Each structure stands twice: as structure tokens, then as C-alpha cells.
Chains A and B, each alone.
Chain A
């Protein structure tokens, strides 16, 4: 019977290569420029509290869709993921696809913001941003693109203000929070969220980071850094890695009341599915989402499993509903090369067909 044998020559070579990469990496890391957050030029068109509404400037001469597109990102993590580097920018892709792109930057909440609730975010901030854009363009309705939790917000908003939304796109958006493979949701079921928020006020970004890392602890806290050693000798790859690393750990705190309502209404009570969802004084019924909907999800998404997004189909009132399935992960859908080639053009084409 054949023996197990680690080839000593190969192993020695492996270790020497490891050390060599470390040595080169020391040089590359030391000479790294500051990591920029967001690459596409933009201008701030509206400020409110810590929120800034940006309009992106297109380098393309392509005629723009007359209906502007507002990107609503999640409160968790920073929105520059959509514009993380020159060749990995969903925003740039949308601009090249002829869309007039706006984005809400939520900023960094502090304890003074702890009583902001979902009504303040959705019927307050989002609604006022929508009104600013409508007024600026002289449009009754605008297009809305919600990402992850931002997609959940966008669904609520579209259900409560259908008269202001022309077309709705949701990307990796959780709708059914209790699918069997939803790890985050399972963990939250036995947590007393009220007590947590009463004790802490805002939920720190670090706590959320730890929770997300806990989904795949060995890969995300161990193996990933050994993989990093393999690319340390390549300056460009190192910079890309550090850019992602910056984004992953650049997590704002979550306003306590909004966090409380989101966890209870969605993760614990799954109100899109179970019904009786109220945001402020209004009831949210997804049957009122009567505008065209494009629902994009990632097949390898461990944060928002595909079934969590696909549940939207049966809930909306629109007859113009379409899905795009992307073979990638929760982040890959924005940053992978394939995603850049497929997703923004598909969105642009879908929007242009629905003026």
C-alpha cells in the first residue's frame, strides 16, 4: 500500500516561497498608497443630518435615461462597495449603460442618532431624497435600486409610495428571512433584541463585523490571510485585497431603534411573509408594489440565500416581474469581473425598455 508522503523537497520549496512572498509583501505593503473609497467622480446634491445624496458624473457621452436612478444601500457597511475600484464599479457600469445615477450615503450614526427608526429612514430620509431628485429632474417618478437591506427598505418604500417609483430593482435583497439555510436568522431567534438595544443603544460596527465573520470563521479569519500571502508579491493584487479589507471592516454603527425594528420585524417576525408589517403609521403590503420589478440574486450568497430573495415573486402586485440569477456570492455580485460585464448592462437594458 502506498504511503502518505509529503515530498520534503516540495515542502521546503513551499515554505521558502512563503517566506519569499512575505519578504516581498513587506515592501509592497510599506509602499502602499492610501486606499481611496469610491473612484467615480460625484457631487453632493443634498445633505440631511449625516446623510449625503450624491449624483455621479459620467465620463460617457452616451445619452442618459431621462428617468434618474437612485441607489439605496444597506445601513450595514459603506456604499462605496458599488464603486470600489476602476475596473470593479457597478456605479460606473450603470453610468456606461446610460443611467443617471444617484446614491444615498448614510454616514456614520452616533449615539445621538439612536432613536432614528425605520419610519425616519424610509418615509423620512429616502422619501426626501426621492423628492429632491424628482424636483431636480421635473419627474413624477424615479427608478429605485435597493441593495441588500437597502432593497428591503426600497420594497417598503415602493409599497408605501408607488406613485413616486417608476421601476424597482432589488439586488441580493432578503424578503423571506426564515428560509432553512439562513444562519443569521437562526442565531437571532433566541436573542432578546429589546434588551440588547436598551443595554447598548447603537449596535457597534465591530459587533456586526464579528457576527458576519462568524458565518465562516476559519475561512474568513484564517485561510483568507494565508491566501493573502500568495498575492503579496503582486502590488496590484495587494492593493485590491487591502481595498476589500478596508471596506469589510469599515462598518458604521447601527442606530439602535432602527436596528431593533429591523431585527424584530424581519429576522424574528418575518413580516413580509407573515403580514401586518407597519412602518410608522403605515401598513406595508407588497401587493402595492405595482411597478415593474427586477430581482437580482446570487446563487452562492451565504448572507442572503437565494430562496430568501426569490420569495419576492409571489408577494409583489406587479405583473412585470423578472429575475436574474448570478453565479457568485454576496460581494462577488458587485466586484467580480463577470458581474461587471453582466449586471449593469442588464439593468440598463431593462430600465431603458421601461421608460
Chain B
């Protein structure tokens, strides 16, 4: 470090961090335990929030916690990257040496990111499935040893006796749980790979910047570069068939497990004499079908009403003028015959409509009685 012409600047940076932390500690010496935090900036933010949150309204706590978490991640990354770059730079004699040092230093960062590869997708999915019920994944064994033990005990025994079907349902649940575990593993592995690749890309970007003699302007700039790298890798990887297959398998396994779990819940509820989801579904389906038929009938009635109204409002055609008395009589008789026919037709139509209405009502009444 002493040999580098720029070592004084890095020393200054480290000293600034230390003096900031020392200032915080001296201000809060009595309130806080005196332990050296891993990242003084993150710790400073945490301590600030502890002091400030007493004055904050409860409804703002959630959003502030979220903002602080992001801030701590951001500063942790900046601090870690700064250390990485300092180490790399202080030992380098050429661009290749710099690249090699960065590469070695980034291995640690990759391990960190892989270890903390997001379980958020799983948590969200499982929370969605839970929705206030006990989560299906409570059944999921948390280790291979647990799974093996469970498998050996339950799956190997054939079902016998009155509870044979119940036993087979639980055996099936165990198999589905094992499938879900396996599918989840594959899915999380895919995300781990994305994290690792994003770090590789980040490393590459820094080396390219160094070669172009460009500088990240701020901690935020470093964070933004990292986000860009992650999104770039992510956008490419999640479009690939392997990822889509892993995603589909994971979702399907979770849904199969959820469905089996709910079937068991329904049976339990029915045994207790309480309404189950299955029974409600049957009712709702029939009810919705009835509503559709009612809607259709209502539309037909409106159409028929409009037709009847149109007919009722239709004026008879004016009679042609007669030239001779005989012709007049013939014309009069013909006009009368015509109106009689029209009236007869209208009456016949009304009768038919009434019959149809009666038939429809009777059908509906019988159908309801049958149910």
C-alpha cells in the first residue's frame, strides 16, 4: 500500500469511515453496545433509525424499514466493492494484474450473493398459497434426512382397513412434498446461477471501465451498474427453456401439493359437519349456471316484448280506392279479410308466447323442485 501513488486517497477514505463511526459511537456511547460493526455506514443508518423511529408515526415504519434495508444493501455493496477495488489496485503493476486481482476479490462477492440468493420468490408464492390458511409447505421436510425418514416411515406402508384411502392420501401428499422440494431446488439453483453470472458481468464491466480510464462517480453509480448487470443477465436467462421448465415444474409441484392439502382439509371439515370448499364450489357452479340461464331468458323476453310492441304499433295498410260500386264492395271485403287475418295472426302469436312462457316457467319450477 505504501508504494502506490494513490494510497493516500484510500487511506483518507478509510479514515473518513472510521471517524464517522467514532463520532456516532461517542454520541451514543451509553445507549449502544460497543462493538465494531461490519460496515460503519450501515450501522450508522441503523442507529439513526433507532433514534428517529420513536418520533415516526407507526404507518411510516414499514416504508422506512424498506428504504433503510435498501440503503444498507447499497452501502454494504459500496463498502465491499471499495475494499475489493482498493485491494486490487494496491497490488497491481499492470492492467492484467488488476484484472486478476479483481477476479480473485470478486470470488468472495459471488459467494456472498449466492448464499443470499433471493428466497423472495418462494416466500411470496408460499404466502400466496397460504392466504391465511396454514401453508401447504408446512408439510415440506426441511432437510434431505427429514425427507428420507418421512419417506421410509410413511410411503413404504401399504394402506389397509377402514382408513386405507386416508393413508394413501397422506402417502400421496408426502410424494408431492418430495416433488416440490426437488423442483424448488432446481428453481433456486437457476436463480443462484443468475446471481453468479451477474457478478461475472459486473466484474467485466469494472475491468472495461478501468481500461477505458472511466471512473464510477459515486457509490450510487456503482450500485446502478450492479443493477444493470443483474437485470441484463436476468432478462436473458429467464427466457431460456431450462429456466421456463424449472419455473413451470416448481409452480406445478406447489399447486399439486396445495390441491392435495386442500382435499384433506375439505375432508376434515366435512367430517366435522362444516361446509367445505368442495361443497361451496358445487353450489357456486350451479348458481352461476342458473344466473346465466336467467340472463339469457331475460334477453329473450326483452326481444319478444320489442317484437310484440312493434306489431301492436304497426298500422294496417291503407285500402286502394274503388272505381265501381262492385269493386268497392270487393275491396271492402278484401280489406276486412286482411285485417281479420292480421288480428288472427297477432292473437295466435300472443297465445304462442303465453304458452312458451308457461312452459318455460313450468320447466324452471320443475327443475328447482327436482334440485
Q: State whether the Cβ of B34 lies closer than 8 Å to any Cβ in chain A.
A: no
With A5-B6, A204-B131, A228-B67 known as contacts, the answer to whether A192 contacts B252 (CB < 8 A) is: yes
Q: State whether the Cβ of B238 lies closer than 8 Å to any Cβ in chain A.
A: yes
Q: Which residues of A contact B252 (CB under 8 A)?
A: 190-192, 195
Q: State whether the Cβ of A216 lies closer than 8 Å to any Cβ in chain B.
A: yes
Q: Interface 1/0s, chain B 119-134, versus A by CB < 8 A?
A: 0110011011101000
With A26-B56, A217-B234 known as contacts, the answer to whether A195 contacts B255 (CB < 8 A) is: yes
Per the 8 Å Cβ criterion, residues 156-184 of A in contact with B are 183
Q: Which residues of B contact A226 (CB under 8 A)?
A: 70-71, 74, 220, 223
Residue of B nearest to A211 (CB): B124
The CA of A190 and the CA of B253, in the complex, are separated in Å by 12
Q: Which residues of A contact B234 (CB under 8 A)?
A: 216-218
Residue of A nearest to B210 (CB): A4
Q: Which residues of B contact A120 (CB under 8 A)?
A: 288, 292
Q: Which residues of B contact A190 (CB under 8 A)?
A: 244-245, 247-249, 252
A302–chain B nearest beta-carbon distance, Å: 9
- Contact (Cβ within 8 A) B244 A218: no
The CA of A2 and the CA of B214, in the complex, are separated in Å by 9
Q: Which residues of A contact B128 (CB under 8 A)?
A: 204, 206-207, 210
Residue of A nearest to B9 (CB): A5
Per the 8 Å Cβ criterion, residues 216-237 of B in contact with A are 216-220, 222-224, 227, 230-231, 234-235
Q: Which of A112, A186, A222 contacts B227 (CB 8 A)?
A: A222
Q: Which residues of A contact B315 (CB under 8 A)?
A: none
Q: Which residues of A contact B63 (CB under 8 A)?
A: 29
- Contact (Cβ within 8 A) B85 A4: yes
Q: Which residues of A contact B256 (CB under 8 A)?
A: 195, 199
- Contact (Cβ within 8 A) B127 A218: no
The CA of A30 and the CA of B231, in the complex, are separated in Å by 33
- Contact (Cβ within 8 A) B218 A11: yes
Per the 8 Å Cβ criterion, residues 203-255 of A in contact with B are 204, 206-207, 210, 214, 216-219, 221-223, 225-226, 228-229
Q: Which residues of A contact B219 (CB under 8 A)?
A: 6, 11, 14-15
Q: Which residues of A contact B251 (CB under 8 A)?
A: 191, 196
- Contact (Cβ within 8 A) A23 B52: yes
Q: Which residues of A contact B55 (CB under 8 A)?
A: 26
B197–chain A nearest beta-carbon distance, Å: 13
- Contact (Cβ within 8 A) B125 A207: yes
Q: Which residues of B contact A191 (CB under 8 A)?
A: 247-248, 251-252
- Contact (Cβ within 8 A) B255 A196: yes
Per the 8 Å Cβ criterion, residues 44-92 of A in contact with B are none
B311–chain A nearest beta-carbon distance, Å: 21
B121–chain A nearest beta-carbon distance, Å: 7
Q: State whether the Cβ of A330 lies closer than 8 Å to any Cβ in chain B.
A: no
B183–chain A nearest beta-carbon distance, Å: 11
Q: State whether the Cβ of B350 lies closer than 8 Å to any Cβ in chain A.
A: no
Q: What is the interface of chain B mostly: helix, strand, loop, or mixed?
A: helix
Q: State whether the Cβ of A1 lies closer than 8 Å to any Cβ in chain B.
A: yes
Q: State whether the Cβ of A355 lies closer than 8 Å to any Cβ in chain B.
A: no
With A5-B6, A6-B216, A116-B288 known as contacts, the answer to whether A229 contacts B71 (CB < 8 A) is: yes
With A191-B248, A200-B255, A200-B258 known as contacts, the answer to whether A216 contacts B231 (CB < 8 A) is: yes
Q: Which residues of A contact B259 (CB under 8 A)?
A: 195, 198-199
- Contact (Cβ within 8 A) B60 A187: no
Q: How many residues of A contact B (CB 8 A)?
A: 57
Q: State whether the Cβ of B162 lies closer than 8 Å to any Cβ in chain A.
A: no
- Contact (Cβ within 8 A) A115 B255: no
B83–chain A nearest beta-carbon distance, Å: 11
The CA of A4 and the CA of B117, in the complex, are separated in Å by 28
Q: State whether the Cβ of B45 lies closer than 8 Å to any Cβ in chain A.
A: yes
- Contact (Cβ within 8 A) B64 A223: no
- Contact (Cβ within 8 A) B262 A199: yes
Residue of B nearest to A115 (CB): B288
A193–chain B nearest beta-carbon distance, Å: 9
B103–chain A nearest beta-carbon distance, Å: 15
Q: State whether the Cβ of B365 lies closer than 8 Å to any Cβ in chain A.
A: no
Residue of A nearest to B218 (CB): A14
The CA of A18 and the CA of B12, in the complex, are separated in Å by 21
- Contact (Cβ within 8 A) B121 A222: no
- Contact (Cβ within 8 A) B64 A15: no
Residue of A nearest to B56 (CB): A26
Q: State whether the Cβ of A124 lies closer than 8 Å to any Cβ in chain B.
A: yes
Q: State whether the Cβ of B271 lies closer than 8 Å to any Cβ in chain A.
A: no
Q: State whether the Cβ of B339 lies closer than 8 Å to any Cβ in chain A.
A: no
- Contact (Cβ within 8 A) A10 B218: yes
Q: Which residues of B contact A207 (CB under 8 A)?
A: 124-125, 128
Q: Which residues of A contact B285 (CB under 8 A)?
A: 115
The CA of A114 and the CA of B277, in the complex, are separated in Å by 12
Q: Interface 1/0s, chain A 1-38, versus B by CB < 8 A?
A: 11111101011101100110011011001100000000
Q: Which of B16, B120, B255, B277 contacts A192 (CB 8 A)?
A: B255
Q: Which residues of A contact B74 (CB under 8 A)?
A: 226
Residue of B nearest to A232 (CB): B67
Q: Which residues of A contact B238 (CB under 8 A)?
A: 183, 186-187
With A4-B85, A4-B210, A228-B67 known as contacts, the answer to whether A223 contacts B227 (CB < 8 A) is: yes
Residue of A nearest to B288 (CB): A115
Q: Which residues of A contact B215 (CB under 8 A)?
A: 2, 4-5
Q: Interface 1/0s, chain A 86-113, versus B by CB < 8 A?
A: 0000000000000000000000000110
Q: Which residues of B contact A223 (CB under 8 A)?
A: 223-224, 227
Q: State whether the Cβ of A201 lies closer than 8 Å to any Cβ in chain B.
A: yes
Q: Which residues of B contact A124 (CB under 8 A)?
A: 292, 295
Q: Which residues of B contact A221 (CB under 8 A)?
A: 120
Q: Interface 1/0s, chain B 175-196, versus A by CB < 8 A?
A: 0000000000000000000000
Q: Which residues of B contact A225 (CB under 8 A)?
A: 66-67, 70
| 27 sample A-B contacts, Cβ–Cβ < 8 Å, listed by A number | A3-B6, A4-B216, A6-B78, A6-B216, A6-B218, A8-B12, A11-B16, A11-B78, A12-B20, A22-B64, A23-B52, A26-B52, A26-B56, A26-B64, A111-B280, A115-B288, A120-B288, A189-B248, A190-B248, A191-B247, A192-B255, A204-B128, A217-B118, A218-B231, A221-B120, A229-B67, A229-B71
Additional A-B contacts beyond A192-B248, A200-B129, A217-B120 (20; CB < 8 A):
A3-B5, A4-B89, A5-B6, A10-B217, A11-B218, A14-B220, A18-B71, A22-B71, A26-B55, A26-B64, A111-B284, A120-B292, A190-B244, A195-B259, A201-B281, A210-B121, A210-B128, A223-B223, A225-B70, A228-B67
